[in-house]
Structure 1
Amino acid sequence: MGRMADVLAFTKGHGTENDFVLVPDLDGTLGLSPARAAFLADRRAGIGGDGVIRVVPTAHADEDDVRAQAEQARWFMDYRNADGSAAEMCGNGTRVFAAYLRREGLESADEFVIATRAGAKRVRADGDGWAVELGPWRLTDPAASERDGVDALVHLGEGDPYSAVSVDLGNPHTVVALPEEVDLESVDLSRPPVVRPEPPHGTNVEVVRPIGPGHIAMRVHERGVGETRSCGTGACAAAVATSFWAGSLDTGSTWTVDVAGGRLTVRLLADHGVELAGPAVLVADGTLPLATLPA
């Protein structure tokens, strides 16, 4: 699948209903402006998705630190939020990206490395889906987190703020510990949560409800997008935060994370590593005239 003179090819895919528009740019000449990415993600005027992924050779990436990954990763997942802003990476997106590369014959192995703005990520085929090593996580404010178990307060609509802890997985997350008396489905995520102190680059906010040992349910408001059906790095952040609050960040422990769009599996690895596994579905292929894109 490629780009003809006056037509843009695309593929629509999703991972636990976190959906993306994938655009092949196999010679690195297309580029993707914020306005064009936002148009493609628009659910009414464009194709529709939580984000847009440009499939481009790592050697043709715009950023020096991404091009530096070319020796270990042939392909760069140039990820854009629905508002067109560039993002570090996307956990669900990495699996859909891997599925696309395999289907198109751009990668043939069951395990390979892809480039992201958050560094190189190893992906592997995992049954009907894919698993990705997302690299090391870290507490954004370790001193506050380890002292109080929280480092932020989050306002979700009206009422008092909720306690939260911030986890960096290459992109920022703030995980809310929902009190037992508050129903997960009742939380208002129609507006961006207000986080204090305010993160300098914004943050994704996950609201978590424990289900049982090693099992949580989650909803998420993604920066630059709004509430989505799933967030892969958010599921990892939620599992890490819940493990941290439980005082048990054991290597090899596995978490089941229920999201609105399905179920993900998170495994804690050595040295603060984390692996995300789940489905990746390529739904449709199509083309649209380049003339319909913003200049």
Structure 2
Amino acid sequence: MADRLAVTKGHGTENDFVLVPDLDGALGLSPARAAWLADRRAGLGGDGVIRVVPTERAEESAVRDQAGVARWFMDYRNADGSAAEMCGNGTRVFAEYLRREGLESADEFVIATRAGAKQVRREGGQWTVALGPWRLVDPVTADRDGSDARVHIGDGEPFSALSVDLGNPHTVVALPEGVDLAGLDLGRAPLVRPAPAEGTNVELVRPIGPGHVAMRVHERGVGETRSCGTGACAAAVATSFWAGSLDTGATWRVDVAGGRLTVHLLPGHGVELAGPAVLVADGSVPLALLPD
């Protein structure tokens, strides 16, 4: 219907998204419209908004360059409407949508993101996404491995942290003994010093056992979310680094508020993320309600 916008609601471990098909690339999605769709009171509600658009119709030339390997671009927006590089949970929900709609028919294919082309595959009823190489980032010099970040939560003493780049920025805190993960107040954004120029997601991690951690996350442009896929990968990388072992082939279980994700560390600083993807509902929104 020309006067209505088609939408689908989905989630990956309760990290939820509004998907908007733009199959001819004519719609576009302004920051104000994305923020309205993500608004949990005035709009539909979600941690982010994903526009489904042909890669060749993307606005950014760096994304269009991926058209030779990826037919579809995951145009991901944070809840505040700002554009983000990519989203680990979102890639799986995006892949599930493409399969359901017949836009992709194979069990393995490539999608385009602002962080580069990502290969996804379906196995065992879940989706696995190859997120590409990670790197440790010194937040001061940004040109060598290191750990100089400090994270302030509330009025307490700052925690030391490790900065991990997974195509989008993360700052991972391993909580000291005696600090209750569940009791930390993430109602306001943690203060990271030095402040990353593009902002950062902050992961708070509690080891549970070998290859097993629990995590809470505050996402930039969103707030605390029930899950973060790239954040789970950052947590696994950082915990392996602190343990003195970034073993190739290591598998991590990462418990988040919305469920459990599985992270595989691969050769060459590669990483894969596996987990569920659920499409919850389909509907439409009157275009007249959307802001300009």
Question: What's the TM-score once normalised by structure 2's chain length?
Answer: 0.98
The verdict on how the C-alpha distance between 1:170 and 1:51 changes in structure 2, with shifts beyond 3 A counting, is same
Alignment of 1:1-295 (within 5 A): 4-141=1-138, 150-295=147-292
- CA positional deviation for 1:127: 1.3
Cα distance between partner residues in 1 of 2:145 and 2:105:
48
The verdict on how the C-alpha distance between 1:110 and 1:148 changes in structure 2, with shifts beyond 3 A counting, is closer
Contact kept in structure 2, 1:144 and 1:150, CA below 8 Å:
no
Q: How many residues align?
A: 292
The verdict on how the C-alpha distance between 1:143 and 1:40 changes in structure 2, with shifts beyond 3 A counting, is closer
Letter in 1 for 2:121: R
User: Percent identity over the alignment?
Assistant: 82
Ranges in structure 2 where 5+ consecutive residues have no aligned partner: none
- CA positional deviation for 1:126: 2.2
Q: Could you tell which deviates more after superposition, 167-176 or 147-156?
A: 147-156
- CA positional deviation for 1:144: 8.3
- CA positional deviation for 1:142: 8.8
SS at match of 1:87: coil
Cα distance between partner residues in 2 of 1:150 and 1:106:
43
Cα distance between partner residues in 2 of 1:148 and 1:138:
8
SS at match of 1:106: coil
Q: Could you tell which deviates more after superposition, 77-86 or 150-159?
A: 150-159
Cα distance between partner residues in 2 of 1:262 and 1:169:
21
Contact kept in structure 1, 2:164 and 2:170, CA below 8 Å:
yes
Letter in 2 for 1:223: R
- CA positional deviation for 1:150: 2.4
Ranges in structure 1 where 5+ consecutive residues have no aligned partner: none
SS at match of 1:95: helix
Letter in 1 for 2:75: D
Question: What's the TM-score once normalised by structure 1's chain length?
Answer: 0.97
Letter in 2 for 1:92: N
- CA positional deviation for 1:143: 9.5
Letter in 1 for 2:239: T
1:138-163 C-alpha deviation (Å, 9 max, x unpaired) = 01119989x99622000011110001
Cα distance between partner residues in 1 of 2:140 and 2:21:
43
Contact kept in structure 2, 1:115 and 1:121, CA below 8 Å:
yes
1:209-247 C-alpha deviation (Å, 9 max, x unpaired) = 000000000000000000000000000000000000001
Cα distance between partner residues in 1 of 2:202 and 2:268:
24
